[in-house]
Chain A
C-alpha cells in the first residue's frame, strides 16, 4: 500500500510568501474579532508589517544566493519540487512586495472620500437602494480589502516561483480570486465596478479552463507535473508532439490572458476602467510582473528545448499586441481606458523582450540579457503605471473620479505640478529619453536585436511612434486645451497617496538617468533553475 510522504518544506526559503499569507489570515481573524472602529488601523498595521517583514526576509534570502555557484547556492527547488527559490523568483518577490506596499498606501487612502476608504461601504447592498444609502451615511467601510490584497500578493509571489503545473494553477487562482472581488468593490459607480468584476471573473474562469485543459494535455504527453520532468520529456521524446503543442498552446492562452496580450485582452479596458482605481493600479503593476515571470519560467524552463517551435507563435502575439494596443488607444476618450490599452501595448513590448532570450536552460549569468531586459522593463513599467493610476484618483468632480479626457482639459493650469508629473509619466510610458521608459525599451529592443528578432524590433519602434500620439494627446489636452469650468478639481490627498506618486516618479526618473545599478543587479540575478 502506498503511503503519502510527509511534505518536506524548507520554511526559511519560502518564508517571505508564508509571512504574507500568514498576515492575510491574521487579517481575516482581526476582521472577525476587532470592533469596527479599530479595524482600519489594525488591518493597515497588519498588512504593512506583513509586507515589510516579507520584503526584508526576501532580501535576506536573496543575499544568501550566489548565482555563479552551483546548486544549491544559486537557488533551490523547494516544497516537494513545486517552488523554485532562485534569483529571478526573489527579485520578482521583492518587486511584487514593493508594489504591494505602494498599493497598500493607496488602498488605505481615506482623505479623498471624506474619511472613508474608496471601497464600497457595504458590498452586499444593491446599488441605488436604501440599504446602500444607509451604509454610506453610517460611514461603513470594508476593511476586508486589506487581507484580500495580501492574499493577492501571496498568490503573485507563488505564481512566478512555481515549477510545477499544479502549483502554477493554484497560484493563479490564489491571486486571481481576491482580484475579482476587489474589482467589484468600488464606492462610486458601483454598477460599472460590479460589471467589471463579473466580466473579469467569467472570462478569468473561462481562461482558467483553457489553462487546466492545457495542463492535462501536457501531463498526458510528459507524464509529469514538474517542469523538470516536462523538460526531460520534451527534450527526449520522439513521439508525436500533438499533445504537447496542444497543451502548450492552451496553457499559453491562459497565461496570455493574465498579462492582457491580444487577442486575450478584451477584459483589460473594461476591468481597468470599472475597478476601483487603487485596485487597477495594483493589478496593472503586480499581475503583469507575476504573470510575465511565470510565463518566462514556464516557456524556458519547461519548454525551452522547443524554443524555436513556439517562438513564431509569440512573434504573432507580440506584434498583434503592440499594434492593437497602441492603435486602439488612439481612439480612447477615457484616461483609465487609455492607460489600460497602454498596458496592453506594454505587454507587447515585454513579449518582444521575451523573444530576446535565446535559451535559458544552460546559459550562464552573463548571457541572460533577455531576462535582464524583461525584468528591467517590468520594474520600470510597474512603478510608472502605479504612479499614473494613483494620479487618476486625484482628479475628481462631484461624482468622484473624473476620468473622461475632456474633464482633464486645462488641468495644467489648475495644478501644474500634478499635470507636470503626469505628463512626465506619460512620456516615460512613451519611452522618451531621460525616463526609465526609454531605458526599458532600449534594453528590450537590444536584447531582441541580438537574438536576431530585428523585424519585431522594427515593428516595435514604429509602434512606439503611434504610441507617442496618444500619450502626447493627453499632455496637449492638459496643457493646451482651454479649460472650462466643469467642476473638476485636483483633490489634496493624505501623505499616503503623495508618497506613492513621489516614489513612482522618482524611480522613473532615477532609472532613466542612472539605470546602471539596477541593470548590474539584474545581470547578477542569475538563472532560472529547474
Chain B
C-alpha cells in the first residue's frame, strides 16, 4: 500500500547517507590532494617551477586512485546503503541555521568523481606536453588543480551552501584559466565576459539557496529532500527556476550561453577539461541533484526542457557556421549539454540518461578538444579550419582518435554517443513529440557540422599556411588521446543491462512503466537515418567541393545569423549592457547630487551647529554657572511636567 502510494505521487528518493567508516580517509583525500597541490604550487611560487607540473599531475592521479578505491568499495555495498557522508565541521551557524561542511558520496557523485579525476588526470598528463614551452606552466597546473579541487567540492558537498562554494570555486578557476594568456586582450576580455555572465547565474543560485533556506530552514540535501513534499508547489517552482538560471549560467544554456564560445581563448586543455567535460556540466549535476525539488515542480521542469531544446538547436546551428575548430566544438558542447539539460527536465525518466550522456560526452568531447589541441600544436596554433585540410596523413594518431570521437558524437551505431543520445531522444519522444522531433533534428545537424569539421580538417586538399609543417604530437599528448578514444568507443558499455539506470535509481528515482509511442528500435533507426542525411549533406556541400581559404561573404541570412551566434552579444549589449550603463550613469548622478548632497549638507549642518554652539563655550565661569542653573531647571521641569 505504502509502496504504491509513493509511486503514485512519484516521490523522489530521500538523501539518507550513512557514516563513511573506512572510506573517510579516501573521501577526504580525493578532495584534499588537488587542493594541496594547488596550495603548494601557488604558495611555493617560483621554487616549484621545475617540478610544478609533476606535482600537479601527481595530485590529480592520486585523487583518481582515491576515487577508484571509493568506487569499488561502493560497488561492494548493497544498493540501498551506498551513500556515505563525512561531516567535517560546522562551517557556520546563525540562529537556528547551521551549515555543516560535509562530503556526500553516493552513486551520482561517484560517477562524477571518476569523470573529473579520470579525465582530469589525462588532461593533466596531456598538458605536460601541451604547455611544455610556456614559462608559466607551473601556474597553469596550480590553476588546474584548483579547478579539480573546486569541482570535486561541487559534486561532493552535502549541502547547497557547500555546493555553492565549489560552484564559485570552479567559476574562479575557469576565469583564471580562460585568461591564462593574459597578454592577449581577447583572452582578458573573454575571461571577464565569462565571469560577468556567470554572475547572473550565480545570483540565481544564491537566491535559490536563500529561498530553500527560507522555505525549509535548512540547506542540507538530506533534510531538504525529506521536507520537499511539504512545501507548496509555487515555491518549489520558484526554487526550480532559480536553480535553472544558475544552471544556464554555468552550463552555457540559452539565454546565458554567450560566454562559452569566447572562453575558447583559454589553452586547449582547459577547453577540454572545463569547457567540455566537467565544469559546464555542473548545471546538469545541479538539476539532477535537486531532483527532489524538480520532481515536485512540473512547471520548472517544462522550463528546463524548453531551455535545453532551444540550446541544443542553437548550439548545433552555431557549430555549422563557424570556421574556428574550437568554436565549432564549443557550439557542439552547448548543443550536447542542451541534450542533457533537456533530458534532466524530463524528470525521473531522463535523469539517468542525462548523466549517461554527460559521461560519454565527457569522454568524446574531451577527446576531440585534445585532438583539436594536437592539431593546433602541429600547425603553429592556427585554429581556422580553412587553413587545414588533409591532415590525416601528417598526424595519424590524432586523426584516428579524433575519428573515434567523431563517430561517437554523431551517434554511429555501437559507439558511446549512439547509446546515450538515442536514449535521450527516445525519452523525449515519449514525453513530448515536438521536443522529440527537435532532438532528432539536432542529431541530424550534429552529423552535418561534425562531418564538415572532419572533412575540412583531415580530408580535402591541404590549405596550410606557408611556414606550417604539420607533425604528430609527442607521446605525452597522444597517449591520453588514445585512452579517451577508447572510452569514447566503449562508453556505451555502461548501458548494458540498463546498468547505469539501475545504479542511479537510489538517487534519482526509479522509472516505472515507460511506454514510448513508437518502439525503441524504430527510434534508433530513424535517428541513424537522419544522421546519415546530415553526414551526406556535409559530404556533398563540403567534401565534394574545394574549400575556399577565405570564408565566403555572400551567404544566406541563416548562416549570417549562426556565424554571429544569433546576435546574442549584440542583443545583450543593446538590451542589457547599454541600458545598464545608462542606469549606472543615472545612479551615479543621483549619488553625486542627492546622496552626496544630503551627506555633505548634513556635514555642513553639523559644522554650522558646531560653530554656533562652540560660541556658548566662552570660558566665563558665570555663563557656565548659568548653564548649570538652566540644566537644573530643565531636569526639574522634565520631572515635574511629566509627573504632576
Binding site for B on A (CB under 8 A): 198-199, 202-203, 206-207, 210, 241-242, 245-246, 248-250, 252-253, 256-257, 262-264, 266-267, 269-270, 306, 309-310, 312-313, 316-317, 324, 327-332, 466, 469
Do B617 and A269 have beta carbons less than 8 Å apart?
yes
A240 to chain B, nearest CB (A): 8
Do B610 and A328 have beta carbons less than 8 Å apart?
yes
Q: Which residue of A lies closest to B619 (CB)?
A: A270
Cα distance A310–B619 in the bound complex, in angstroms: 32
Assuming A199-B624, A266-B624, A309-B643, is B638 touching A331 (CB within 8 A)?
Answer: no
Contacts of A269 in B (CB 8 A): 617
Cα distance A262–B607 in the bound complex, in angstroms: 19
Do B635 and A327 have beta carbons less than 8 Å apart?
no
The 8 A-B pairs of least Cβ separation, nearest first, read: A331-B610, A313-B638, A263-B631, A266-B624, A249-B636, A253-B632, A245-B639, A330-B610
Do A327 and B613 have beta carbons less than 8 Å apart?
yes
8 Å CB contact of A264 from B610, B628, B640, B642: B628
B616 to chain A, nearest CB (A): 8
Give B616-632 as 1s and 0s: 1 = Cβ < 8 Å from A's Cβ atoms: 11010101110110111
8 Å CB contact of B611 from A253, A267, A317, A331: A331
Cα distance A206–B627 in the bound complex, in angstroms: 12
Cα distance A210–B614 in the bound complex, in angstroms: 26
Cα distance A331–B640 in the bound complex, in angstroms: 35
Do B635 and A256 have beta carbons less than 8 Å apart?
yes
Task: Tell me if B606 is interfacial: C-beta within 8 Å of chain A.
Answer: yes
Cα distance A354–B635 in the bound complex, in angstroms: 16
Assuming A210-B632, A327-B609, A331-B614, is B639 touching A249 (CB within 8 A)?
Answer: yes
B636 to chain A, nearest CB (A): 4
Contacts of A270 in B (CB 8 A): 617, 619
Q: Which residue of A lies closest to B634 (CB)?
A: A263
Assuming A203-B621, A203-B624, is B639 touching A328 (CB within 8 A)?
Answer: no
Do A263 and B610 have beta carbons less than 8 Å apart?
no
Q: Which residue of A lies closest to B623 (CB)?
A: A266
8 Å CB contact of A207 from B628, B630, B634: B628
A201 to chain B, nearest CB (A): 10
Do A309 and B628 have beta carbons less than 8 Å apart?
no
Q: Which residue of A lies closest to B624 (CB)?
A: A266
8 Å CB contact of A206 from B617, B619, B628: B628
Do A317 and B617 have beta carbons less than 8 Å apart?
no
Cα distance A260–B631 in the bound complex, in angstroms: 12
A327 to chain B, nearest CB (A): 5
Assuming A203-B621, A257-B628, is B636 touching A250 (CB within 8 A)?
Answer: yes
We find that the number of chain B residues with CB closer than 8 angstroms to chain A is: 29
Do A324 and B613 have beta carbons less than 8 Å apart?
yes
Cα distance A264–B628 in the bound complex, in angstroms: 5
Task: Tell me if B551 is interfacial: C-beta within 8 Å of chain A.
Answer: no
8 Å CB contact of B639 from A210, A309, A469: A309
8 cross-chain CB contacts under 8 A: A246-B636, A253-B631, A257-B628, A266-B623, A266-B628, A317-B635, A330-B607, A331-B611
B561 to chain A, nearest CB (A): 55
Do B625 and A316 have beta carbons less than 8 Å apart?
no
Do A331 and B639 have beta carbons less than 8 Å apart?
no
B347 to chain A, nearest CB (A): 49
Which residues of B565-616 have CB atoms within 8 Å of chain A's CB atoms? 603, 606-607, 609-611, 613-614, 616
Cα distance A328–B617 in the bound complex, in angstroms: 10
Task: Tell me if B644 is interfacial: C-beta within 8 Å of chain A.
Answer: yes
Contacts of B610 in A (CB 8 A): 327-331
Residue among B616, B630, B639 with the most chain A CB within 10 A?
B639
Do B631 and A264 have beta carbons less than 8 Å apart?
yes
Do A249 and B624 have beta carbons less than 8 Å apart?
no
Do B624 and A242 have beta carbons less than 8 Å apart?
no
Additional A-B contacts beyond A270-B617, A316-B634 (18; CB < 8 A)? A202-B621, A203-B621, A203-B624, A207-B628, A241-B644, A249-B636, A250-B636, A253-B631, A253-B635, A263-B631, A263-B634, A264-B631, A309-B643, A313-B639, A328-B617, A331-B607, A466-B606, A469-B603
Contacts of A317 in B (CB 8 A): 635
Q: Which residue of B lies closest to A241 (CB)?
A: B643
B612 to chain A, nearest CB (A): 9
Cα distance A248–B643 in the bound complex, in angstroms: 13
Assuming A252-B635, A256-B635, is B603 touching A263 (CB within 8 A)?
Answer: no
Cα distance A133–B170 in the bound complex, in angstroms: 77
Residue among A316, A324, A327 with the most chain B CB within 10 A?
A327
8 Å CB contact of B642 from A203, A252, A309, A469: A309
Cα distance A306–B643 in the bound complex, in angstroms: 10
Do A248 and B614 have beta carbons less than 8 Å apart?
no
Contacts of B611 in A (CB 8 A): 331
Residue among A246, A264, A324, A469 with the most chain B CB within 10 A?
A264
Cα distance A469–B614 in the bound complex, in angstroms: 17
8 Å CB contact of A202 from B606, B609, B616, B625: B625
8 Å CB contact of A266 from B609, B627, B640: B627
Do B625 and A203 have beta carbons less than 8 Å apart?
yes
Contacts of A248 in B (CB 8 A): 639
Cα distance A264–B634 in the bound complex, in angstroms: 11
Q: Which residue of A lies closest to B605 (CB)?
A: A327
Cα distance A481–B644 in the bound complex, in angstroms: 56
Contacts of B617 in A (CB 8 A): 266, 269-270, 328
Residue among B613, B617, B640 with the most chain A CB within 10 A?
B617
Assuming A207-B628, A327-B606, is B639 touching A310 (CB within 8 A)?
Answer: yes
Give B283-296 as 1s and 0s: 1 = Cβ < 8 Å from A's Cβ atoms: 00000000000000
Q: Which residue of A lies closest to B632 (CB)?
A: A253
Cα distance A207–B632 in the bound complex, in angstroms: 9
Cα distance A505–B603 in the bound complex, in angstroms: 30
Cα distance A330–B93 in the bound complex, in angstroms: 41
Cα distance A152–B621 in the bound complex, in angstroms: 24
Cα distance A253–B611 in the bound complex, in angstroms: 26
Do B609 and A245 have beta carbons less than 8 Å apart?
no
Which residues of B38-66 have CB atoms within 8 Å of chain A's CB atoms? none
A525 to chain B, nearest CB (A): 28
Contacts of A327 in B (CB 8 A): 606, 609-610, 613
Cα distance A199–B625 in the bound complex, in angstroms: 10
Cα distance A506–B459 in the bound complex, in angstroms: 77
Q: Which residue of B lies closest to A311 (CB)?
A: B642
Contacts of A199 in B (CB 8 A): 621, 624
Cα distance A330–B604 in the bound complex, in angstroms: 11
B388 to chain A, nearest CB (A): 61
Cα distance A257–B628 in the bound complex, in angstroms: 8
Q: Which residue of B lies closest to A306 (CB)?
A: B643
Contacts of A328 in B (CB 8 A): 610, 613-614, 617
Contacts of A313 in B (CB 8 A): 635, 638-639, 642
Contacts of A253 in B (CB 8 A): 628, 631-632, 635
Q: Which residue of B lies closest to A270 (CB)?
A: B619
